[in-house]
Structure 1
């Protein structure tokens, strides 16, 4: 029996109110999301203890894993698209030297916090800009790596983003993302009912429905835009301990709608219908 997905949404209003929670001294929100706005990664998920402190460490671990998959090393120029509060930029700043690190976002409050809290260490350069992921304000061949850490589902067009990423990357450069990837059978079901559920989801959550993209479409998109998919990491099991922590925070704040949204994602993930994956693409053509 297919799960009820009419109430599932990846858009989480809770995150839009985080800066206010920080200013009010909400210690739990600050520890959980003051640096990173993405899920956590546990190499052994059975050892997750359910605490916010443990989740914060796991979120940092996910950032490390993504940058390792992207093969980041000293002396590179990196663009983080949808940079949130600048957590991935901060992590790169602490781990590497002689780096040109740029983060872009369309959310002013998130960018302001990133600028206040993330400062370049000696020999590194950091810049945060307000920009659209599908209209990148950079010259051709200007970056070694482009990252999109749990943000691509919010972009207006994956194809436009891929084409822009290809334009600004050097030959041989990498685009590395993490995304919620539906299995093909579930995606076919979702597409059949997507139009019927769209109005309900927008009325309930005030945002567009889940913007899923199956792996086969990512491969086709890569080929069409001058990339090759060179590495795939399915880390669904390693991210599952995220949900009890985040759900507890949502319910504790009285945010019932966002709690329902994350519970929906959790059900899909635990049933194997939705996979949390890191995908790394390499520029394959001039």
Structure 2
């Protein structure tokens, strides 16, 4: 494991541990009930199936999946210990016997081969520094014919130089990069996961100006039309941008 990968995971974990400690929850910034329901509707889950929520965070997906499918087993996996601790408390409070939360090292999933019928992940994969290895792990733990549902923001078509990644990296939470739909399809194909469909949504995303040190310098590095394509709006306390979101389904080849 290279130092850059392990250091990236460490920074991501530290950033999110601090964020959760301050009660500034990422999912509060990214809540979208319409998108959530569309994601849940993608899941054809039968009794007894096992579902892994990768990068579960506050359990934004894990809790409603466990509630909608009470006879399935749902596991939330993450590196952020405070989030997992709170999730366990909340699952116990709700009496969710079909939901558990597990920590890991950010690289190797602590599960046997062919353990899950579904892997889901929302707004997490852009933090993963070894994305090809992560997809290899996803493929490994999926059963033959098992399915993957990912939801993650994407760069705009005109943003070849990736203004959006430079912008997101201002907050020290381990952002690596957003991927295009075609990039996801190629990553999946390399690990035996075939793209089967999906849909696009959008998110209006806020950033506290205090975490946007260097914003003007970043804006000046990129073409103004690229910056404008994200509908940037600056208020007294925040910077808002609009991001496209890829919601994509894959199936593991038998």
Which residue of the partner structure matches residue 50 of structure 1?
none
Q: 1: CA distance between counterparts of 2:190 and 2:29?
A: 28
Q: What TM-score results when the alignment is normalised by the length of structure 2? A: 0.73
Which is strand-richer, 1 or 2? 2
Q: What TM-score results when the alignment is normalised by the length of structure 1? A: 0.65
Aligned residues: 226
Could you give the per-residue CA deviations for residues 3-45 of structure 1, whole angstroms, max 9, x where no partner exists? xxxxxxxx8x9854444344xxxxxx5xxx49x456233xxxx
What runs of 5+ residues in structure 1 fail to find an aligned partner? 1-10, 23-28, 42-57
Q: Alpha carbon RMSD of aligned pairs, Å?
A: 3.7
Q: Which has the higher contact order (CA 8 A, sep 6+)?
A: 1
- Report SS of the residue matched to 1:119: helix
The answer to whether the 8 Å contact 1:182/1:273 transfers is no
Which residue of the partner structure matches residue 245 of structure 2?
276
Which is helix-richer, 1 or 2? 1
1:90 aligns with 2:91: no
- Selected match of 1:140 from 113, 131, 142: 113
Q: 2: CA distance between counterparts of 1:226 and 1:157?
A: 17
Q: CA separation of 1:74/1:130 partners in 2, compared to 1, >3 Å: closer, same or farther?
A: same
Which residue of the partner structure matches residue 130 of structure 1?
103
Q: CA separation of 1:179/1:269 partners in 2, compared to 1, >3 Å: closer, same or farther?
A: farther
Give the alignment of 1:1-286 within 5 angstroms. Answer: 16-22=17-23, 33=25, 36=27, 39-41=30-32, 58=33, 61-119=34-92, 124-187=97-160, 189-190=161-162, 205-206=171-172, 210-236=176-202, 239-240=203-204, 243=205, 246-247=206-207, 250=208, 255-257=210-212, 269-270=230-231, 274-284=243-253, 286=254
Q: 2: CA distance between counterparts of 1:235 and 1:38?
A: 16
What runs of 5+ residues in structure 2 fail to find an aligned partner? 1-11, 220-226, 233-240
